[in-house]
A and B are shown apart, each in its own frame.
Chain A
Amino acid sequence: MTTIADELTIERRGHAGSAARRRTNFVIFLGPAIVLTVLFFVVPVIIDIAVSFTDLSRSLRISEFTTEQYEKVFRTDRRLSQVIGLTFIYVFGTLAIFNVTFGLILAITTTAIRNVSGSFFRGVWLLPRMSPSVLYILLWLWAVSPTEAGLVNQVLMQAFGLDAPLDLLTSAPIALIIISNGFIGASMGMIIFTAAIRGIPEHLFHAAAVDGAGTFAKIRFITLPALRWPISFVTIYQTLSLLVSFEYILLLTKGGPFYDTTVYALYVYRRAFESGQYAYGAALALFLIVIGVVVALIGWRFFDMERLLQRPRIEVH
């Protein structure tokens, strides 16, 4: 026969046991993620902040702690406003035209046709993502070469009778970096949207067909509402990716001609590593981190991600 005191002791032990289990589970399941986040995100940010308050330059020596780099950012760097404007055009253009819209079109069209053909076309669109960056850009350089040997010029001159070859690298460099990045970025949206479309119960489309809905009506009233969460995710994720990525731009246009395709992340790279102004590059990079966090928070709020993350939106009950 147990007393009330005994029962309380057992209950406490149970609570203590589950608390210990919770702590163990926390360490096992979240510990590695937390350690990695601290090591690869928090620590670099702290180092970046520390370096931005020094005069670290070409020979990696620090002779003083100073706010000089921030004075440069705010007072003397006349190139920054142009770079920020260009970054906005690049990110917004790539995202709106390719990563979301084109990705969506590809997902809808490749799921609307026969499965084998759809998979084939999706495979084709994934090829650039699977090939090395350098190879992908080499093909672009050949395609837009400003001579008669360039693919685009061959087509324009032979099929459309153009007199002289076009030089797109000089005349339309921003369009080129948007298109070259977009072709890669569209494939990610395509995969995520395709998975989401496949998750929509088939009977909804049949019911809509019975009600007399056409293709566009089905897309508008069934597909797009079900894709709200994936679209929000792709938009926020790709915005952050585009803000910090510049390898294709560096390989294709080297940020030029002049500064015409030098986006913010590339500008930081050029200042830090091509000129050896590491402390100034760190100060500029800090603003990129701040911009990224702000963009993520705005996106979170704008798309009401908190509500979307609570439970799946695709399933219909």
Chain B
Amino acid sequence: MIHWKIGTAALLSAVLAGGSAAFLAATPLFAQETVKLELWSRQDPSGPLRPGNVIKAAERLNKELETEGSSKRVEVAVRESPAKGFDDDALQLLKVFGIGEGPDIFIAAHEWICAFQEDGFVLKLDDYIAKYPQHFGTIFPSLWSSAKCPDGTYAIPQDAEARMFFYNKKLLREAGYDAAFVDAMPERALSGDLTMDEVLDIAKQVVDKTKAQYGVLHRPNKGPDYIMVFQAYGSNFVDPETGNLLLERDKLAAAFGWFERGVKEGVIPANNTAMEFDALRKEFYTGNAAFWMYGIWDLGSVAFPTYGLPQDEKAFFADWGWIAGPAPQKGGSPVSLTHPIVYAIAADTKEPELVVRLLGHASAADLNTDHAVTTTHLGIKPEQLEDPRYAKAWPLARATELLKITKFLPNNSHFGELNGIIYAGIQGIESGRLSAQEAADFVIGEASSSLEDVIVK
């Protein structure tokens, strides 16, 4: 009986001891804390790796946390919005934040960041950026200005690109311009020798002397490209002293005048704004238009895969090319526009430090290059230029030279609305409802009555 008791006690002790050892060994596993982060991203075929790189970054961060002995791990859930564009997406997201259902991280067009900052929805990042130079130290300094609001930095540049006038060299040659003239256009545009009106003249020759129907085509909805024209004619839309929106009547009228002349000459179609995006691209890439005002990513996203433009650099430049937005007069300054997309962090996220580190990993040169080369966007760090994949993606390398003269859309919380009014002005001119002067008056009138703090000169 005693033997039985001793045996049972020994057995129980062994089980208890073994169980305790196993429990203690497993304790770190049980104590592991998963930080769930929600990422808001627009469903956008031109940048699937914007959210994709954050998910990859979570793996890297989790390894780093493991090495540090931290019990925390991050898990990223992507919440996709079906918005048509970044403006609609930002308006949608502002409402979501407004009802307290905002995500931890969001992807936005840079000009919207200050709208989120004004309402206190977005985290200020200056201290974090300084704290993690290994992640953010080499991002091109010029790109940071796209992430700033009046009192600090509120976002991390995710990519950049270049906007330009693409042109069809074959049509220009058919119109009587010799190869030397056609090939020299990019250099002439960059030096300020080629003017905006000369582009209209060339386009008119193409329309008059070839079978091509159109001279210059531009996007058929609100967006950044046509703002280049306004920047060329001197409008920067923000008063440098106050940060308020600035509208200068003469400069606006001058830019609208270019569109007005384009339509009068039969170069810009009167129904450009009524046409479908895909129809416009098709007209240009199938040889029915001389110029197409758009962005570099269109080559990788549409021109190569859909319309079969040559992917080989030499073959491409034999018949196609691009120029910077030309100067308004000889000797003036050319323009290009970049429209960075940014990562931003919600002001009320529970683990800001972890989220910053997560986005630091998402901004790694190799991951960003994955996005850049697959979608023809420009990278954010100089070390990406040394990546053989980046060098191989020649449109990126060639377009990077436009960054020397590039400008941004103003980071004003009401620029999105102003841009809608400017677009309506272009539509008014092209459809013959307004003259250039009336369009300038229209923009000033509409903006003054519906937006706050607009300075008019």
Q: Is there contact, CB below 8 Å, between A258 and B431?
A: yes
Any chain A CB within 8 A of the CB of B29? no
Q: B99 contacts which chain A residues (CB < 8 A)?
A: 60
Q: Are B450 and A146 in contact (CB under 8 A)?
A: no
Task: Determine whether the beta carbon of B274 is less than 8 Å from that of A257.
Answer: yes
Q: Write out the residue numbers on chain A whose beta carbons fall within 8 Å of the beta carbon of B1.
A: none
Q: Which of B56-64, B89-97, B341-349, B361-369 contacts A (4 or more CB under 8 A)?
A: B89-97
Can you list 24 A-B pairs, Cβ within 8 angstroms, ordered by A? A58-B95, A58-B119, A59-B95, A59-B98, A59-B121, A60-B94, A60-B99, A78-B445, A78-B446, A146-B275, A167-B270, A167-B274, A170-B431, A256-B273, A256-B431, A257-B271, A257-B430, A258-B424, A258-B427, A258-B434, A260-B433, A273-B91, A275-B450, A277-B450
Closest chain-B Cβ to A69's Cβ sits at a distance in Å of 11
A147 within 8 A of B: yes
Q: Which of A259-277 contact B (CB under 8 A)?
A: 259-260, 273-277
Most chain B CB atoms below 10 A, which of A58, A79, A256: A58
Distance between Cα atoms of A77 and B450 in the complex (Å):
8
Instruction: Select one of A59, A253, A260 contacting B94, CB under 8 A.
Output: A59
Evaluate contact between B274 and A275: CB separation under 8 angstroms.
no
- The A238-290 residues at the B interface (CB cut-off 8 A) are 253, 256-260, 273-277, 280
A79 neighbours in B (Cβ, 8 Å): 446
B27 at the interface (CB under 8 A from A): no
Is B279 an interface residue, CB under 8 A from the partner? yes
The verdict on B352 contacting chain A, using a C-beta distance below 8 Å, is no
The verdict on A61 contacting chain B, using a C-beta distance below 8 Å, is yes
Closest residue to B87 on the A side, CB-wise?
A: A274
A267 to chain B, nearest CB (A): 12
**B271:A258 contact, CB within 8 angstroms:** no
Any B CB within 8 A of the CB of A76: yes
Q: Tell me the total A-B contact number using a CB cutoff of 8 A.
A: 74
Q: Which of A14-49 contact B (CB under 8 A)?
A: none
Q: Is B420 an interface residue (CB 8 A)?
A: yes
Chain A residues touching B, majority SS: loop
Cross-interface CB contact of A61 among B98, B428, B434, cutoff 8 Å? B98
Given contacts A77-B449, A78-B449, A276-B91, 11 further A-B contacts (CB under 8 A): A58-B94, A60-B99, A61-B98, A76-B450, A78-B445, A147-B279, A167-B270, A257-B274, A258-B424, A273-B91, A274-B420
Cβ proximity bits B413-450 to A, threshold 8 Å, 1 near / 0 not: 00001001000100110110110000000000110111
- The residues of B that contact A151 with a CB separation of less than 8 Å are none
Q: A59-B97, A61-B119 are in contact. Are A257 and B427 (CB under 8 A)?
A: yes
Is A192 close to B, CB under 8 A?
no
A-chain residues with CB within 8 Å of residue B430 when the two chains form the complex: 257
| A260 and B431 contacting across the interface, CB-CB below 8 Å | yes
Contact B98 A275 (CB under 8 A): no
Q: Say yes or no: B433 contacts A257, CB within 8 Å.
A: yes
A191 at the interface (CB under 8 A from B): no
Query: Is A72 on the interface with B (CB-CB < 8 A)?
Result: yes
Interface assignment of A157: CB less than 8 Å from any CB of chain B: no
Cα(A72)–Cα(B446), bound, Å? 11
Given contacts A60-B95, A72-B449, A257-B431, contact A169 B274 (CB under 8 A): yes
CA of A58 to CA of B414, assembled, Å? 11
Task: For the complex formed, measure the closest distance between the CB of B125 and the CB atoms of chain A, giving whole angstroms.
Answer: 20
Inside 8 A of A58's CB, which chain B residues have their CB?
Answer: 91, 94-95, 98, 115, 119
Check if B271 sits within 8 Å of A170, measured CB to CB.
yes
Contacts of A259 in B (CB 8 A): 424
A82-111, CB under 8 A of B: which get 1 and which 0?
Answer: 000000000000000000000000000000
Q: How far is the CB of B222 from chain A (nearest CB, A)?
A: 9
Name the distance in Å between B109's Cβ and chain A's nearest Cβ: 15
A60 and B93 CA atoms in complex are apart in Å by 11
0/1 per residue, B258-282, Cβ < 8 Å to A?
0000000000001101110001000
Q: Mask for A59-81, Cβ within 8 A of B = 1, else 0?
A: 11100000000001000111100
Q: Which residue of A lies closest to B421 (CB)?
A: A275
**Nearest-Cβ distance from residue B339 to partner chain A, whole angstroms:** 20
A250 → chain B closest CB, angstroms:
13
Query: Which one, A61, A146, A277, contacts B271 given CB within 8 A?
Result: A146
Chain B residues within 8 Å of A72, by CB: 449-450
Question: Nearest Cβ in chain B — how far from A283, in angstroms?
Answer: 13
Which residue on A lies nearest to B439, using beta carbons? A258
* Contact between A170 and B119, CB atoms less than 8 A apart: no
User: Nearest Cβ in chain A — how far from B325, in angstroms?
Assistant: 25
- Considering the complex, give the chain A residue whose CB is closest to the CB of B97: A59
Determine how close the nearest CB of chain B comes to the CB of A31; give it in whole angstroms: 33
With the chains together, A275 CA to B421 CA distance in Å?
10
Contact B274 A146 (CB under 8 A): yes
Within the assembled complex, what's the spacing in Å between the Cα atoms of A58 and B451?
12
CA distance A147 to B279 in the complex (A): 10
Contact partners of B270 in chain A: CB under 8 A: 167, 170
**Alpha-carbon distance between A256 and B428 when the two chains are bound, in angstroms:** 9
- Residues of chain A lying within 8 A (CB to CB) of residue B119: 58-59, 61
Indicate if the CB atoms of B91 and A169 lie closer than 8 Å.
no
